[in-house]
Structure 1
Amino acid sequence: MPFGSAAEQSIADRLLLDRVLQQRSAHWKPHDAAIDPERSGVIMTGPRAGTRVADLRGRGCVAPLLIDPAAYIRHKATAETPFIVPTDRLGGVEWEICAQRNAGADAAITPTGHIAADDTAALRAVVRKAVTLDRDGVIVALPIHTDWLRPASFDVLFEACRAIPHVKAVIPSGQFDPIALTSRIQNLRRLVGTLDDVAVIRTDLAAFDAVAHGAVFAAIGDSSFLRHAVPPDQRAWRSSLDDGTPDILVPLLMRYNSGLEVAERYAAVEPPRCACSTCLGRDLARFTTDSKDCKAEARAHNVAAVAPWHAELLAEPAGHSRRRWWRHHCALALARYDDVSRNINSLDGFRIPGALRVWATVPLDAGSSFGLG
C-alpha cells in the first residue's frame, strides 16, 4: 500500500514494502552472501551498527540497510525523554538521524526508549517529538511492552500510531514469546491491517504473520536475543533447555530449538534433512557445539530456510489471499506435530508454540474490525 508523503512512498515502495529483513547484531562481523537484495535486507542493531552498515556498503551491498540504535534495551522512554541520545551529541535525535543516513542507512530509526505498559505519558511524548521530525526517510521506533496489545490498552496505542505521520516500527517486548496470546496477535494484526505505515521488527516468524496481514515490512532476528526484546529493567528468562548451542529453525514444525535438543530428540531415528541453500540436504542434527562456525552456520540456515516461504507469500495478491496462504502454511506445520512425536517415540514430543496454534486455527479476520481485500 502506498503511504505518507511522496518521499516516504519512494523509500517504502522502492526498498522496504513487503520485505522481511534480517535483524542482526553489530557484534558479529557482517557478511552479505545471504542477503536477498530483491526481498530482504538488514537491520543492523546496537552501538557499532553504523560502522557495520558502512562496511557492508563499502563492500558493494545493494540491499536495503537500516540501523536500529536499540536504546530500548537499556533505557525507558519517559515523558521528559522519549528518545535516548548521549548528552555529548548536541544535535539530539536529529544528530542520530543524520549519523545513520551518513553511514549508509536507507532510512533512520529513532532511538526511542522502551515504552512501559500503560505509560501513556511516555507514549504521548514519543508522539509529540515524532511529529516535529522530518518525515523524509525517518522510521519511528515503538518498542512497546506487549501489554499495550491487550484489549484494555490497545485503543490508546492505536490512536498514538495514527497520530504519528511517519512509518512506525513496532517492537513488542516481554518474556519468552511476548505476543503468543490470541488477543495480542489479533490486535497486532488489526494495527498493521488498519494503518498502512506500520512495520514489526525484532521478532520471529511473527514477521510473516505481520506482512501477511498488511505490515509495510518486518524483520526477523538472527538470534534468540534479537527475536524477542525484553524491558530494560528485566533480564531475559532462560529456558531450562538453554545449552549454549545455537537455536535453529526446524522448518517442518515452524519452531526454533537449540541444536543439541534437536540432535537428542532424533538420537534414535533419522533426523530431518533441510533443503535450504545453506544445508543443501544435510540433516539438522549437526548444530551441537557452541563454536563460532556452528553459530554462524545456524544463523545462515535460519535465514535461508524461510526464504522460500517469503517468495510464496509474495506470489499471492495482498490481502485475503496472503492471509489464507499463511494460515494454511501454519496449519500444515501444526498437523505435523503428532507424526513427529510418533516418529521419535516421545510422549511429549516438541511443544507446539502458542503463536503457531493461533496462526493456524483462528479463522481469517476473526475478531477484527477491518477488511482487507
Structure 2
Amino acid sequence: MPPFPGQTPHPSTVTSSLDVLRNIRGRVLLHVKATGQAPLGQVSRSTGGVVFSGANASKSCAEFVQDTDHGVPTIIDPALYENFEATPDLPMGDGNEPVPMDYPPSGTNDSEGDPRHLRLTPTRYLPCTDRGEVALRNAMAEGEREKDPALVLAVPIDVRWLVDRREDLLHILNATPAPKAIILCHKGNPMGSGGHAAGLREIFSRCENTALLRTDLAAFEAMVHGAAFASIGDRSSVRYSPLPGRHGWNKRNDRSPNVLHPTMLDYFRGSTLATYFRDVSHECTCPACSSWAEKNGRNSGGRHLSSYTDSADTYDAHAHNLATWSHLWDLISSQTSPERQRDYWRRMCANSVATFEYLNDKHSRRIKAFKAPVHLRVWSDPDGRSGSAPDLQIPCGELSPERSD
C-alpha cells in the first residue's frame, strides 16, 4: 500500500498485510472531551475523525458511531495521564481494573479486516526521569502483549523528553512495532520552547507508525514530517495536557471563546480579536462562518473574527476552528510530494511570523500583543533550528481564510 501523501514510507506501512492504521492514516482528527459544544456533525468523512477523551469517552464514542454511521474513524482515549503518574510497577490502568477490552464493537472493521475504531492504552503520565523511562518501557511491553489490532499504545510524556531524553525516546519508540500515539504533557503550552519545537520535528522524522494527539497546529508539523495521524482539540483543555492533578490555565473573567486565526496560525481570545482586529479583520467565509451568516440573515456571506466575544459564541467558534484547520490541512496535504508539503507548511509558518510582526508594528508595538510564538519561528526554518530567524520574504497574506471547496 503506498503511503499517504506527505508521509514517510516506513517499512511497516507498506509491507504489512494488516495495516492497523489504514483507515486513519493521513487524517487529522478532532479531539473532544465535553461533547456538548463540539461540532461533531462537521467532521470530514474523507480526511477527519474523532478522538473521544476522558471518563465518558466510551459512551460518547458509541453514541457518535450509532448516530452518524458514515464511516468516520474514532479513537477512545481514557486519559488516565490527566490524574495519575506512571511507576515502573504500574505504568497503566488504575491498579484495580484490567486494560478495558470492550471496545470497539464487533463488525466495525472494513472489508480488508482493518479496524476503523481504535483505543488508546490507559497509560499514565510518564515523567522525564529514570523511573519514567522504566515505566515507558514497561507500558510498551504491556500494551504489545495484548495482541489487539484495535489498540494504539498511548505515550503521554512530559514534554522535556523531546530534549532531555530524546534519543532514549526514539530508541524505545522504534523498538516497538505497534502503533503509538504521543501526548505532550506540560504546565503550559508544550511548544513554548524552541528546543521542544525542534525536538518534535526530529521525533516524527525518525519514528514510524507514531501519531501526535491532543495538540494544536503542531499536528501539521508532525504530519508533514512523518506522523501517521494527529488530533487537534476543540478547546484549549484538549489542545494541551496539563500535568497530573493540575488544571489548565484560563484567562480570568474572560469567557469569550478561543478563535483560530487562519493566517497567524494561532488561537486568540475573541475579546483580543475584538480589541485589535475590529478595523482590520476581513470576514471569514469558511463553511461554518458562511452557515452562521445565512442563519442570521447576513448578506455578506461571512462573519468577522472580531465578533466572537461572548460565551454564547463558543459552539460557533469551535465550528469555525474545525473548518479552518481542516481547510489548512487540505491545502497542505494536496501538495504533490512530501517535500512540497513540508515546504508549503514552512511557508505558511513564515507568513504567520511576518503577519505577527506587521500587526505588532501597526497596532500594538508598545505592548507586543502579537509577538510571534517561538515554535512558528522554528517551524518556518527548513532545518528546524531553535535559535535561527526564518526567511521572512513572504508577503503578509489576507487576514481571512480562503473559502473551502
Shorter-chain TM-score bucket reads 0.7 to 0.9
Cα displacement (A) at 1:85:
4.1
How big is each residue's C-alpha offset from its partner over 1:32-54, in whole Å with a ceiling of 9 and x where there is no partner? Answer: 42110111110011111111111
Q: Is residue 52–residue 61 contact of structure 2 (8 Å, CA) maintained in 1?
A: yes
1:320 and 2:339 matched: yes
Report 1:62-81 matches (<5 A): 62-81=71-90
Amino acid at match of 2:287: S
Letter in 2 for 1:142: V
C-alpha contact 1:247 1:256 (8 A) present in aligned 2: yes
User: Which residue identity is paired with 1:279?
Assistant: C
Look up the match of 2:6. Answer: none
Q: What does residue range 344-355 of structure 1 map to in structure 2 within 5 Å?
A: 344=363, 346-347=365-366, 348-355=368-375
The match for 2:349 is 330
What's the counterpart of residue 110 of structure 1? Answer: 121
Aligned to 2:135: 122
Identity of aligned residues (%): 26
Match of 2:285 in 1: 275
* Whole-angstrom distance in 1 between the partners of 2:148 and 2:201: 24
1:143 aligns with 2:162: no
Report the counterpart of residue 297 of structure 2 in structure 1. Answer: none
Q: Which residue of structure 1 lines up, in the alignment, with residue 239 of structure 2? A: 227
Aligned to 1:209: 221
Q: Deviations over 1:151-202 (max 9, x none)?
A: x311111111122221110001112221232332222222212222110000
Q: Is this contact kept in 2: 1:100–1:108, CA < 8 A?
A: yes
Letter in 2 for 1:306: W
Q: Aligned-pair distance for 1:86?
A: 6.5
Q: TM-score, structure 2 length as denominator?
A: 0.81
Q: Quote the Cα distance in structure 1 between the aligned partners of 2:38 and 2:339.
A: 37
2:107 corresponds to 1:98: no
Alpha-carbon distance between aligned partners in 1 of 2:38 and 2:270, rounded to the nearest angstrom: 23
Contact in 1 for aligned 2:81/2:124 (Cα 8 Å): yes
Which residue in 1 is equivalent to 2:260? Answer: 249
Provide the secondary structure at the position in 1 that maps to 2:32.
strand
Q: Establish whether residue 340 from structure 1 lines up as the match of residue 359 from structure 2.
A: yes
SS at match of 1:117: coil
CA, structure 1 residues 365+235, in 2 after alignment: closer, same or farther (shift >3 Å)? Answer: closer
Structure 2: runs of 5+ lacking an equivalent: 1-8, 109-115, 291-301, 387-405
For this pair of structures, how many residues does the alignment match? 354
Query: If each structure's helix is expressed as a fraction of its own residues, which one has the higher value?
Result: 1
Change (3 A) 1:198 1:8: farther
The C-alpha deviation readout for 1:185-234, integer Å capped at 9, x for no partner, is: 22222221222211000000000000011100010011000001011043
The CA RMSD measured in Å over matched residues stands at 2.3
| 2:357–2:371 Cα contact (<8 Å) kept | no
Distance 1:98 1:305, change over 3 A: same
CA contact (8 A) 1:314 1:322 kept: yes
Give the TM-score of the pair, scaled to structure 1.
0.88
Aligned CA distance change for structure 1 residues 345 and 141 (closer, same or farther; 3 Å): closer
Moved more, 108-117 or 344-353: 344-353
Map of 2:44 onto structure 1: 36
